[in-house]
Amino acid sequence: MMRYDSEHYAEHYLNAQLGLPLSGYLQEYEHYQTAHTFLGSVVARRWHLGDILAKSLLLHHGDSLQVIDEYDPKVAKMVALIQAANALVYDVFSDHYTTHEVKQTLHDAIAYLNLPENAIESAKAALQKWGQEPSLFLASH
């Protein structure tokens, strides 16, 4: 998407999705009539990266892990991991306050995966220790 609309995509759509993973994604889809999720899924299929990854990339902005679970529990677990990872990176590295959408996405992913609190604290500690690479924050998504 950055190659298609390099002047506007990052500023208006990618950045919005970091703090608003659901509504920001809908804005991208409404504006372009496609989204990075579709493109990522196509690339994963063309590169033969596997069905679970391709479907997870397609659905990683889904607002109901239970609905995805009914479709495919393995995909739902991968989506929950992606959502938790994105929320934790935002929480650790963002200069902005954590939005309700980020908090809710993280809460839902933690509940779905049944993660203990020490897993989340360990992930945050790892990000703080090794995550100072300048490209990590944008590359996380």
| 3-state SS assignment for residue 6 | coil
- The confidence score (pLDDT) of residue 134 equals 63
Q: H or E stretch including 123?
A: helix 117-130
Burial degree of 69 (CB within 10 A; 0-12, 13-18, 19+) = middle
Q: What is the pTM of this model?
A: 0.88
- The confidence score (pLDDT) of residue 133 equals 67
Structure-token match 């935002």, residue found: 90
The whole-angstrom separation of Cα 118 and Cα 130 is 18
Q: Residue 33 is encoded by which pair of tokens?
A: 């009539």
The whole-angstrom separation of Cα 54 and Cα 52 is 6
Q: Residue 28 is encoded by which pair of tokens?
A: 């991208």
Q: Residue 22 is encoded by which pair of tokens?
A: 């659901």
Regions of the chain with pLDDT less than 50: none
- The confidence score (pLDDT) of residue 137 equals 53
- The confidence score (pLDDT) of residue 45 equals 98
